[in-house]
Chain A
Amino acid sequence: MLAPIAGVLFDGIAYGMLLFVLSVGLSVTLGLMNFVNLAHCAFAMLGGYVTVTLVNDFHWPFLATLPVAFFAAAAVSVVFEQLLYRRLYGASDLDQVLLTIGIAFVSVAVAAYIFGTLQQPIQTPAFLRGSTQVAGLSLGNYRLFLIGFALVVTVLLVVGLEYTRFGAQIRAAVDNQRMARGLGIDVNRTFAATFALGSGLAGLGGALAIEIVGLDPSFSFTYLVYVLIIVSVGGLGSITGSFAAAILIGVSDIAGKYYVPEIGAFLIYLVMVIVLMWRPAGLFGRR
């Protein structure tokens, strides 16, 4: 009786970790720059396709493609930031939503044009396949890897934002833009760098997601919903909030699909609406 519950919990946490890597970038950019970026998962999808192409066509090892996915997504996002996003800082939510939905639509069509609409297969290295027996439970290696990876990312992010000079500049720019400018912080560059970091993490998440959820052109929208739910439930700009929300949503989703498959995704939407009605700024929101 206990083993299935622990198994579901483990899968849910691993799934939550994946969602965390996908969404933490959006949380950072949304919370710090107040920009509603619905094209976030388009950058994640880009990272995914970079990894698929490198592994399948150029026979790179899977792990070596992860940094490339990160940097590709980051680089492309900076181009978009400079060309389009920058014009809409401080514009209404609706304009930002529309611009970024437009970009997400385009990304879906471009991905379908280049890669077709089929699911992309991926070959992970041998040590990430199979499973390990721990205390009578069979834990998937890839899922263990995901959990470890996400924990490292979390620690790096928290340390980076709290204890480095760059992190201090970001927080200063967010708290009081004018004051930060007055102190000689290049706010525009700080924001561009933050945006690149957030999108890079999305790209990384997209690459990691292929093994678990697959990759096809609709990724931009399918996971956008999950990512937005996590960001709004966790509270904008809060890394620990995203972490907790990702686990909550990951576990509710997997448990819902396992125990009550007939209601499908109902449960996570319900969790989101209830959490937001109870705490409009999210679980760990500042306001």
Chain B
Amino acid sequence: MADAAAIPTPQDYLQQHSRWRPIEILFWLATLSPFVLFPDYLSLASQIAITALFALSLDVILGYAGVVSLGHAAFFGIGAYTAGLYSKFVWGEPLTGLLVAAAVAGVSGYAVSFIIARFRHLTLIMITLGIGLLAHEAANSARWLTGGTDGFEGIRMLPVLGLFRFDLYGYTAYGYALVVLFVLFVAVRRLVHSPFGLALRGIRENWTRMPAIGADRPAHIRKAFTIAAAIAGVAGALLAQTTSSISLESISFQRSADVLVMLVLGGAGRLYGGLIGAIIFMVARDQFSGIAPQYWYFWIGLLLIAVVIALPNGVLGGLSSLVKKLRRQS
């Protein structure tokens, strides 16, 4: 009996990893601080929360399933335009807008996932890039629907839950974005600590062995991709709802590249990687753009080179190996 207890069952393993740690609770408490400490930066804070949600969605497929996508902004954009059209022509209620956006982005993601699950390496990178560019061109040429390069206008939002009106200072916007981020974060957290999450990691680690041990790899990838697309759609919808406008930039290659940079900067394959990456990236952009906006990409480029060469697992990966090293010494 003693031996049996020493060998952890898979359930034990998953439960052990899914326990909330004090530092996580601290992190989420800290996300409330902008309300009190930086009320002037609430609009930046809500941008960060939205971008973090977008990065989290990319983490599901890239970080956990190892599926590289250079066109993830397609789903962000689809969500944004869906939410915009819904509020303009159907109903200005925000939460149903989110659900509709998630559904439309999820269905598009499901359709695309049949292509995605078949390819890997350079072909996959090129196909995702191509799909992202196609989505951008589609939004650009459908001027009658999306406003094209002029941007989408005419979003009128009702108060959230009928109680919280979107105000000029961004209290509601940040609170709303933060709650949605937290809820979806908890859902993704459940997901990656489930057997399904383990299967995704298995696919990332060994593409050919997973089918050999009986895992239906294409089905897993399709499922993960659909979930990621739906979450990206919610992030896009949040941006449309909180800023009351949509620019073509929200579906551009630039946005796909930025979110990839954030995720890798924070640490792909870690729940908080996208969140930390989004915070660093957005705050740095806010600060650097103040000095010389056109040279912002110089610093991002240098940062990327440095991360790839020096911190292959991102900031969080670097921190965690540092902590491990310190523990071993003491």
Q: A112-B294, A262-B141 are in contact. Are A273 and B305 (CB under 8 A)?
A: no
Q: What number of B residues sit within 8 Å (CB to CB) of A?
A: 42
B125 A93 Cβ-Cβ under 8 A:
yes
Name the residue on B nearest A93 (C-beta). B121
A270 within 8 A of B: yes
With an 8 A cutoff between CB atoms, is B195 at the interface? no
- Which residues of the partner chain A approach B125 to less than 8 Å between Cβ atoms? 36, 93, 97
Partner of B123, one of A94, A97, A105, A232: A232
Q: Residue B134 contacts which of A95, A99, A270, A276 (CB distance < 8 angstroms)?
A: A270
CB distance from A9 to the nearest CB of B (A): 24
A276: chain B residues at CB < 8 Å are: 119, 123, 126-127, 130
A122-162 Cβ-contact flags toward B at 8 Å (1 or 0)? 00000000000000000000000000000000000000000
- Which residue from chain B places its CB closest to the CB of A95 in the assembled complex? B308
Least CB distance from B145 to A in Å reads 13
Residues from chain B with a CB closer than 8 A to the CB of A94 are 62, 68, 264, 268
Contact of B301 among A93, A102, A232, A280 (CB under 8 A): A102
B122 CB-CB contact with A under 8 Å: yes
**A109 near B141 (CB under 8 angstroms)?**
no
Q: Which of B102-133 contact A (CB under 8 A)?
A: 115, 118-119, 121-123, 125-127, 129-131, 133
- Whether, in the assembled complex, B303 has its beta carbon less than 8 Å from a beta carbon of chain A, the answer is yes
In the complex the two chains form, what is the Cα distance from A272 to B119 in whole Å?
Answer: 14
CB <8 Å contact, A103 and B141? no
Chain B, Cβ-Cβ closest to A99: B308
Give CA–CA (A88, B308) in the complex, Å: 9
Which residue of A30, A104, A112, A264 contacts B295 across the interface (Cβ within 8 Å)? A112
How distant is A264 from chain B, measured CB to nearest CB, in Å? 6
A105 x B138 contact (CB < 8 A): no
Query: Is B309 at the interface (CB under 8 A from chain A)?
Result: yes
Find the A residue at minimum CB distance from B303: A102
Neighbour of B141 across the interface among A84, A225, A264, A280, CB < 8 A: A264
**Chain A residues closer than 8 Å to B257, beta-carbon distance:** 101
With A105-B298, A109-B297: A269-B133 Cβ-Cβ less than 8 Å:
yes
Considering the complex, give the chain A residue whose CB is closest to the CB of B132: A269
B304 adjacent to A101 (CB under 8 Å): yes
Residues of B within 8 A of A98 (CB): 260-261, 264, 304, 307-308
A103 contacts across to B, CB distance below 8 A: 301, 305
Which of A102, A112, A273 has the most chain B CB atoms inside 10 A of its CB? A102
Residues of A within 8 Å of B295, CB to CB, are 109, 112-113
Nearest CB in chain A: distance from B121 CB, A: 6
B130 interface neighbour in A95, A112, A229, A281, Cβ under 8 Å: A229
Number of interface residues of A (CB under 8 A): 43
CA distance A221 to B70 in the complex (A): 14
- A277: Cβ under 8 A from any B Cβ: yes
Which residues of the other chain, A, contact B122 by a CB distance below 8 angstroms? Answer: 30, 36, 93, 232, 236
- In the complex, what distance in Å separates the CA atom of A117 from the CA atom of B26? 45
Scoring A residues 69 to 100 as 1 if CB is less than 8 Å from chain B, else 0, what string do you get? 00000000000000010011000011101110
When distances are taken between beta carbons in the complex, the residues of chain B under 8 Å from A265 are 133, 137
**In the complex, chain B residues 279-330 whose Cβ is within 8 Å of any chain A Cβ:** 294-298, 300-305, 307-309, 312
Interface assignment of B140: CB less than 8 Å from any CB of chain A: yes
| Whole-angstrom CA separation of A30 from B302 in the bound complex | 23
Taking a contact as CB atoms under 8 Å apart, the answer to whether A108 and B264 are in contact is no
Q: Which residues of B have CB within 8 Å of A207?
A: none
Q: Other than A102-B302, A109-B296, A273-B115, give 13 A-B pairs with Cβ distance below 8 A.
A: A93-B125, A94-B264, A94-B268, A98-B260, A98-B261, A109-B294, A109-B295, A109-B297, A109-B301, A113-B298, A232-B123, A263-B137, A277-B118
- Spell out A's residues near B (CB within 8 Å): 30, 36, 84, 87-88, 93-95, 97-99, 101-110, 112-113, 117, 221, 225, 228-229, 232, 236, 262-266, 269-270, 272-273, 276-277, 280-281
The 5 sampled A-B contact pairs (Cβ below 8 Å) are A105-B301, A109-B297, A117-B294, A269-B134, A276-B127
State the B residues within 8 Å of A (CB).
62, 68, 70, 115, 118-119, 121-123, 125-127, 129-131, 133-134, 137-138, 140-141, 253, 257, 260-261, 264, 268, 294-298, 300-305, 307-309, 312
- Please provide the 5 A-B residue pairs with the shortest distance between their CB atoms, ordered closest to farther: A105-B301, A102-B304, A109-B298, A106-B301, A102-B305
